[in-house]
Structure 1
Amino acid sequence: MTGDPSVSRVPTFFLNHGGGPWPWMDGPMRQGYDQLEASLNGLLPSLGQMPKAVLVVSSHWEEAEPRVSSHPNPPMLYDYYGFPEHTYHIRYAAPGNPELAARTVALLREGGFAAEEDAGRGFDHGTFSLMQPIRPEADLPVVQLSVLADFDARRHIAMGRLLAPLRDEGVLVIGSGLSYHNLRALGPAGAVPSARFDQWLRDSLVGVGQAEREAALAQWEQAPAAHQAHPRPEHLVPLMVVAGSAGEDACTVQFHQPDFFGGIAVTSFRFG
């Protein structure tokens, strides 16, 4: 893939993907996602142009070095448990994009990462739970990128910087995670720590220059309630990739809900 002068730079996003296969659920659980779903439904119309493809940095794929899905017709990976039987037969039928996978690997290798393609990897719920409400037609090619198993914030920011050219090539780069992810303290138990960490996150990103926000993210463990919000930061580090790819673009709140999952504060962000 190469730059197209007719394509303007595509914004990049860190998005909360929610729990399991929620877009295929009914009843109270699905209703709990009404605000998030409305935000995701409006994402593509807000761009002003249709991206050529989507690169999803998935918090549900951890590898020692970057791995990029290159299957032309990705299978499904039902990486959840305890959900209704029908959710283990759902399909998000978007095509892959081997060309974008190869381009992503090349950019990462140029920056010193030992990136590799993975021709067998299927869509995990960090990808299809977002893409179903974003593009239910499933006609946009989607490629997945793993996070790094060491969770090093600076390495993830560096990955993002290397991937920034994709945004000028019509690629929508999405970091898929959750701004608060402590499964042992959801609902009311997570209200205070999630609010403290979420406020820090918004203060550190919105209205802040590139150098300052990258420095804050690199030191995220010093934030209020950091380890209560993220005992394991796999759901946070996709944000680091997105922040790296954002460059000097301004950050705004894409979605905020103070009572998500019955009581936790969560925020999604847009850069550009």
Structure 2
Amino acid sequence: MSPMQQPAFYIPHGGGPCFFMDDPQRIWTGMGDFLRSLPRQLSAAPTAILLVSAHWETDGFAFTGAQRPSLIFDYYGFPPHTYQLRWEAPGAPDVARKAASLLTGAGLAARVDASRGLDHGVFVPMMLAFPDADVPVVEMSVERGLDPSLHLAAGRALAPLRDAGVLIIASGMSFHNMRAYGDPRFSAPSEAFDAWLSDAIAQPAQSRATLLADWEAAPFARLCHPEEEHLIPLMVAAGAAAAPGRSIYRERVLETAISAFRFD
């Protein structure tokens, strides 16, 4: 990597505003510590962050283009104080326009949404990683069809942003079955899927893309992801890098294996 080039990450964003609530059992402590460590894993400060969120689905791809994006509290039933959280990072309309141009240049539908704010897939983990809110942020949607190959192609098209110092972060959960969390019967299946995913990530780009495009063939894939919107952001991060990826965080959370990956 050049001194300016940024990696691409796939990170877990936890459950709602979990990091900002009482946690006597320390369920979210390890994940929170990992998220706080992200800036220390960078060789240089990013010029901007492009963050793909599992919580924004659109027809075609979309990018936030507001100068000062608001926060969208798209979680429900949590304590009142979690709806008062503040993270006032500036937007990066120029990065949004460049990202959309890269996608349309690759034949992919993309647009800039100048009014949309940042959902909790963005601000909750970024409040830990970049608490000073001093790095401009653009949120990217996932395409409503959730086609893994399409998102891998989007990542490949966005790769030049990394050379301009833009940090690409894909925000989701490597295991996301809401009915399974906390149930020890799902520990072994989640471990098997996580092992497959970690091995796939470590492959060269072409082999990795082939495996990820057919992720449903992985062990217990649909048990771990009954709906795949929290896995699909990974495809963008994986597509944005040619080198093999690697695991940078792995923990059993609520009886299930959860991982994060880095791509250089």
State TM-score, norm by structure 1.
0.93
Q: 2:99 aligns with which of 98, 101, 104?
A: 104
Q: C-alpha separation between the residues in 1 aligned to 2:27 and 2:48?
A: 29
Q: C-alpha separation between the residues in 2 aligned to 1:22 and 1:73?
A: 25
Specify the alignment match of 1:222 in structure 2. 217
Structure 1 position 84 matched with structure 2 position 76: no
Q: 1:15 aligns with which of 11, 17, 27?
A: 11
Deviations 1:171-229 (A, max 9, x none): 000000000000011122421221111111011112x2111111000100111000001
Unmatched 5+ stretches in structure 1? 1-5
Q: C-alpha separation between the residues in 2 aligned to 1:149 and 1:224?
A: 25
Give the total of aligned pairs: 262
Amino acid at match of 1:195: E
Structure 1 position 125 matched with structure 2 position 120: yes
> Is the 2:170–2:236 contact (alpha carbons within 8 Å) kept by the matching residues of 1?
yes
> Is the 1:69–1:120 contact (alpha carbons within 8 Å) kept by the matching residues of 2?
yes
Amino acid at match of 2:47: K
Offset of 1:36 from its aligned partner? Answer: 1.1
Deviations 1:129-180 (A, max 9, x none): 1101101111111100000111101000000000000000000000000000
Q: C-alpha separation between the residues in 2 aligned to 1:183 and 1:265?
A: 14
Q: C-alpha separation between the residues in 2 aligned to 1:64 and 1:99?
A: 22
Offset of 1:7 from its aligned partner? Answer: 4.6
Specify the alignment match of 1:42 in structure 2. 37
Specify the alignment match of 1:75 in structure 2. 70
Once superposed, which parts of structure 1, at least 4 consecutive aligned residues long, lie more than 3 Å away? none
Specify the alignment match of 1:158 in structure 2. 153
> Is the 1:7–1:168 contact (alpha carbons within 8 Å) kept by the matching residues of 2?
no
Specify the alignment match of 2:170 in structure 1. 175
Q: C-alpha separation between the residues in 1 aligned to 2:24 and 2:166?
A: 35
Specify the alignment match of 2:237 in structure 1. 242
Offset of 1:22 from its aligned partner? Answer: 2.0
> Is the 1:7–1:169 contact (alpha carbons within 8 Å) kept by the matching residues of 2?
no
Specify the alignment match of 1:265 in structure 2. 257
Percent of pairs identical after alignment? 44
Q: Secondary structure in 1 aligned to 2:159? A: helix
Deviations 1:53-99 (A, max 9, x none): 10000000001100100011111101111100111121111111111
> Is the 1:59–1:177 contact (alpha carbons within 8 Å) kept by the matching residues of 2?
yes
Q: 1:202 aligns with which of 194, 198, 205?
A: 198
Deviations 1:103-125 (A, max 9, x none): 11111110111211111111111
Q: Secondary structure in 2 aligned to 1:28? A: coil
Q: C-alpha separation between the residues in 2 aligned to 1:25 and 1:34?
A: 11
Q: C-alpha separation between the residues in 2 aligned to 1:138 and 1:34?
A: 21
Specify the alignment match of 1:58 in structure 2. 53
Q: C-alpha separation between the residues in 1 aligned to 2:21 and 2:189?
A: 28
> Is the 2:60–2:109 contact (alpha carbons within 8 Å) kept by the matching residues of 1?
yes
Q: C-alpha separation between the residues in 2 aligned to 1:127 and 1:189?
A: 31
Please tell me the root mean square deviation across aligned C-alpha atoms, in Å: 1.2
Structure 1 position 233 matched with structure 2 position 228: yes
Q: Secondary structure in 2 aligned to 1:221? A: helix
Specify the alignment match of 1:3 in structure 2. none
Q: 2:250 aligns with which of 235, 256, 263?
A: 256
